[in-house]
Chain A
Amino acid sequence: MENNTIIEGDIIHRGAEASLIHGFWFGKEVIFKKRYPKKYRIEPIDKKIRVSRTLNEARALIKVKNYGLNVPQVFEIDVNTSTIIMKYIEGEKLKDSISVFDNQKKYEIFNEIGRFIAILHQNGHIHGDITTSNILITPNEDIFLIDFGLHEYSDSIEDKSVDLHLFKRVLISSHGSDFNICFKAFIEGYLSSYELNCSNEGKYIVRNINSIESRGRYVKQVERK
């Protein structure tokens, strides 16, 4: 009996875009990720965004899972209520747990994240919102990447650089004191994965980050190169 039921429990997280509800799905411990309508948006925009992001995220999760990367497994999708039912992952956000690690551990974790993202990029996936809130560390210290709502398919260097640029910005703004060690480790991991596949693209992508920054607002001329 218990194995045949879908139980929605409590909201465990209210994010900007969606709420995460803990529950059970045919005996499996799951998360219901629901994108509720936003009052501030007019209906056509709201509907478009909720449906496209739900489908987009579910498709991306399924594809990415195939590369053996740690992302939640998708069980069921309901477009009408823009809900994704996916495997519950026990873990803590990197944002909250980063301060407990020593420098060596930080280096290892960010190196690993770098390789993770590089595999995504090499397969033409852009996460679109890599932040320390979207990376989970499980008790076994496995790294999970979540929230693929802004995922895109792209093989362009530009899109991949933007992805890295956004992560860099999050590290600067939220983890300023750890930025140097973390970003260095991240880039090293990222490049090492590309090098494993004898690809030069990684270098171009990393170099292009500077070019994106220089297009931003208020960048000194000296940095514009």
Chain B
Amino acid sequence: MENEEGLCLGIESTAHTWSVGIVDFSGEVYGLVNNTYIPEEGGLHPALVREHHLSNFKDTVLKALQEAKCSLKDISLIAFSQSPGLGPILRIGSLVARLLSQLRGIPIVGVNHCVAHIEIGRLMCNIEDPLTLYVSGGNTIISAYESARYQIFGETLDISIGNMIDMVARDAGLAHPGGPKIEKLAEKSNNYISLPYIVKGMDLTFSGLYTAARKLIESDEYGINYVLEDVAHSLQETSFSMLTEITERALAHTKKTEVLLTGGVAANKRLQEMIKSICEDHGARYEVVPLKLAGDNGAMIAWTGILRFKSEGGFDLSQTNINPKERMDNISIPWRK
């Protein structure tokens, strides 16, 4: 193929991270620049995130090209995050990708964000067929490859783990992103306060846990009988035990021999420790995606774009509409057999 040797420019724009990654067809990352929106207060307001991305997209693309020491002329493929995510934000990614593609006559492919997380993990950790625990601010999914799809074995029935921790952090007066702060606080406590532990088969829910944690913070006893450190500790222990339990159950059910941990929450040391422990118990290989590529990033979009392009070619412009609600298990994975 003419495009065999070339570079793919991947645009990630599903939530608060606007990221551009430049990857070659063998999987080497040449450039990766993230530009993350950090709210002054509260959570992520889609309209504000959109403004942020719109006013920063050009600089980020140029910086990534600079880092990769190339120009737009060297780019032979454009990939963008097509699904799932926040509509207004996805739209900007697809807009910029279509613009570049049209202006330069470069082929374009759309990529599912969740599939991209798994694919970059497989590439970076050199892992063939993992059971993936993907935990982030938007998703909590346990997935493995089965009958031509990344099947979802377990997932959250309501909010995601990252979202839940961030909301508790916000209620406790910590600024966004709350996850790393909760992790720090949790290390300082050993005092466990009982919280609801809800596992439904291989699925779980976090909304009840969130409400219980919020009630602890709002209670009159807060600051007297227990402190924020204790709440953070209890919250992490409960929610991560739930995650680890369903991962173990999925591992026993699917009989996979490799486990991949990815997503923004994968950076949490306590969660890593727990997942590692069950892998040792089941004799499975454990890998965690390096932090820079575990969170949302453009390199994973670029790499998954390359995989799709190699097996199916570029998309028509009519196929490049965004799809904010697409489920990962709806997408065929032609590059794996």
| Bound together | yes
Shortest beta-carbon distance from A9 to chain B in Å: 21
Interface string of A110-146 (1 = CB under 8 A from B): 0000000000000000001111010000000000000
Partner of A16, one of B149, B192, B249: B249
* A residues 47-93 touching B (CB-CB < 8 Å): 48-49
B51: Cβ under 8 A from any A Cβ? no
Interface string of A16-59 (1 = CB under 8 A from B): 11000000000000000000001111101100110000000000
Shortest beta-carbon distance from A96 to chain B in Å: 10
A163 to B160, CA, bound (A): 21
Contact stretch, chosen from A99-107, A166-174, A180-188, A193-201: A166-174
A176 to B203, CA, bound (A): 19
Partner of A40, one of B84, B147, B244, B324: B244
A17 to B246, CA, bound (A): 10
Shortest beta-carbon distance from A129 to chain B in Å: 5
Shortest beta-carbon distance from A172 to chain B in Å: 7
Chain A residues with CB below 8 A from B324, complex form? 218
Chain B residues with CB below 8 A from A17, complex form? 245, 248-249
Chain A residues with CB below 8 A from B139, complex form? 217
A150 to B252, CA, bound (A): 16
Tell whether, in the assembled complex, residue B155 and residue A216 are in contact, meaning their CB atoms are under 8 Å apart.
yes
Shortest beta-carbon distance from A56 to chain B in Å: 13
Shortest beta-carbon distance from A170 to chain B in Å: 8
* B residues 296-329 touching A (CB-CB < 8 Å): 324-329
Residue of B nearest to A44 (CB): B192
User: Do A40 and B194 contact each other (CB < 8 Å), given the known contacts A218-B84, A219-B325?
Assistant: no
Tell whether, in the assembled complex, residue B84 and residue A150 are in contact, meaning their CB atoms are under 8 Å apart.
no
A205: Cβ under 8 A from any B Cβ? no
> Could you say which interface size class chain A belongs to?
35 or more
A162 to B157, CA, bound (A): 10
A225: Cβ under 8 A from any B Cβ? no
A to B contact number (C-beta, < 8 Å):
105
A3: Cβ under 8 A from any B Cβ? no
Chain A residues with CB below 8 A from B157, complex form? 162, 212, 215-216
A166 to B139, CA, bound (A): 18
Partner of A150, one of B146, B201, B237, B282: B201
A169 to B146, CA, bound (A): 13
User: Do A176 and B245 contact each other (CB < 8 Å), given the known contacts A42-B237, A128-B201, A150-B201?
Assistant: no
Shortest beta-carbon distance from B210 to chain A in Å: 16
Tell whether, in the assembled complex, residue B245 and residue A16 are in contact, meaning their CB atoms are under 8 Å apart.
yes
* B residues 233-281 touching A (CB-CB < 8 Å): 237-238, 241, 244-245, 248-249, 251-254, 273-275, 277-278, 281
A133 to B199, CA, bound (A): 17
Partner of B278, one of A40, A169, A170, A177: A40
Tell whether, in the assembled complex, residue A172 and residue B201 are in contact, meaning their CB atoms are under 8 Å apart.
no
B156: Cβ under 8 A from any A Cβ? yes
B152: Cβ under 8 A from any A Cβ? yes
Partner of A166, one of B151, B160, B203, B273: B203
Tell whether, in the assembled complex, residue A42 and residue B152 are in contact, meaning their CB atoms are under 8 Å apart.
no
Chain B residues with CB below 8 A from A42, complex form? 192, 237, 241
Chain A residues with CB below 8 A from B274, complex form? 40-41
Shortest beta-carbon distance from B309 to chain A in Å: 24
A166 to B151, CA, bound (A): 14
Residue of B nearest to A162 (CB): B200
Chain B residues with CB below 8 A from A219, complex form? 325, 327
Tell whether, in the assembled complex, residue A16 and residue B252 are in contact, meaning their CB atoms are under 8 Å apart.
yes
A4: Cβ under 8 A from any B Cβ? no
* B residues 181-219 touching A (CB-CB < 8 Å): 192, 194, 197, 199-203
Q: Which chain B residues have a beta carbon within 8 Å of chain A's beta carbons?
A: 83-84, 139, 146-147, 149, 151-153, 155-158, 160, 192, 194, 197, 199-203, 237-238, 241, 244-245, 248-249, 251-254, 273-275, 277-278, 281-282, 324-329
Can you list 21 A-B contacts with CB-CB less than 8 angstroms, sorted by A residue number?
A16-B251, A17-B245, A38-B277, A40-B275, A40-B277, A44-B194, A49-B197, A95-B253, A131-B253, A166-B201, A166-B202, A166-B203, A169-B202, A174-B146, A176-B147, A215-B157, A215-B158, A216-B155, A218-B327, A219-B325, A221-B325
- Leading 4 A-B pairs by shortest Cβ distance: A173-B151, A40-B274, A166-B201, A16-B252
